Copies of this chain bind each other. A is one copy, B any other.
Amino acid sequence: MSVSLEINLGGLHMKNPVTVASGTFGYGQEYDAYFDVAQLGAVTTKSLTLKPRAGNKPPRLVETPAGMLNAIGLQNVGLEAYLEHKLPFLRQKDVPIIANIYGHGPDEYAELARLLEEKGGADAIEANLSCPNVHDAKSSRGTVLVAQDPELVCAYTKTIRSATSLPLYVKLTPNVATIVEPALAAQEGGADAVSLINTLIGMAIDPETRRPRLANIVGGLSGPCIRPVAVKMVWDAARALDIPVIGMGGICSTEDAVQFFLAGASAVALGSMSFRQPDAAIRVVNGLADYLEGHELSGIAALVGGMAQ
């Protein structure tokens, strides 16, 4: 039996449901030595901003039990250099590009989305409304992440939506009381999918120097340690939404990915695990084919939301 891993992710055709998490795979070329990135369902880029960003001061990383904290601070080459220097490699590969974007205010997001579509720099847009290492949205509750405020999520999504006809994914934060509210807000704003989860906010202190381990003090927690939190949020969101969920957070193996599909994810992204095992994502692609075959399932759709109760 030959199984098909193909999916359509809110308008994007992917040969398999596996992509990589933004910021953990550079612009694709970084992993060219380990496997042909064209074998992925899609490549998701590091968050792009209109202008280049230098990011936070080092140290930017610290390891934690079964995971890590990062405070990169969205260092990236900026849209122009992306189009000029990073895009050509990806375009020479036959792989869809999910361009992850970050802006100051909804208009910058919209501008990024518009330009990316215009210049052929993306096949889908993932709007990062949930970066824990930069804080610039204001709400009545003080400074928060955009994705913590459902009204902002809806408004931002609408604005970006109106600027592009590309499939639009909205990436949300787990630092909320319930993921359902911002997820519904993204859907209402016109998102074609939501990406769950970004990192959990955390910090670590050196007991000897008494200084925070990160120059930025706080950072985002990722890796297998957060997987149970991510599976729960995917499960909650998938049951509430009509649009698909892209599941991520601590996926290391095929078995982990299957958990996310069973919880309701339509696609998955590998993040930090690529650091430990550069070809982890492609192992999951191959593992999923074996899993489907072994369980006599014809396609991924048969798994999605298939948790037995």
Contact = CB atoms under 8 A, between A and B. Distances in A.
Interface of A: 64-67, 69, 141-142, 144, 148, 175-178, 180-181, 200-205, 207, 209-212, 217-219, 221, 223-229, 231-232, 235, 250, 254-255, 258-259, 262-263, 291, 306-309
A40 B223 CA distance: 34
Nearest to A258: B207
A307 B225 contact: no
Which of A65, A209, A231: most chain B Cβ within 10 A? A65
Closest 4 CB pairs of A and B: A202-B228, A66-B66, A225-B225, A65-B224
A209 B308 contact: yes
Contact of A207 (B178, B226, B259): B259
B177 A144 contact: yes
A264 B255 CA distance: 39
A239 to B, nearest CB: 12
Given A66-B65, A210-B306, A203 B228 contact: yes
A280 to B, nearest CB: 15
B181 A141 contact: yes
Contacts of A231: 202-205
Contact of A232 (B218, B262, B263, B308): B218
Nearest to A207: B258
Contacts of A177: 141, 144, 148, 175-177
A262 B212 CA distance: 10
A161 B102 CA distance: 46
Contacts of A217: 309
Contacts of A212: 307, 309
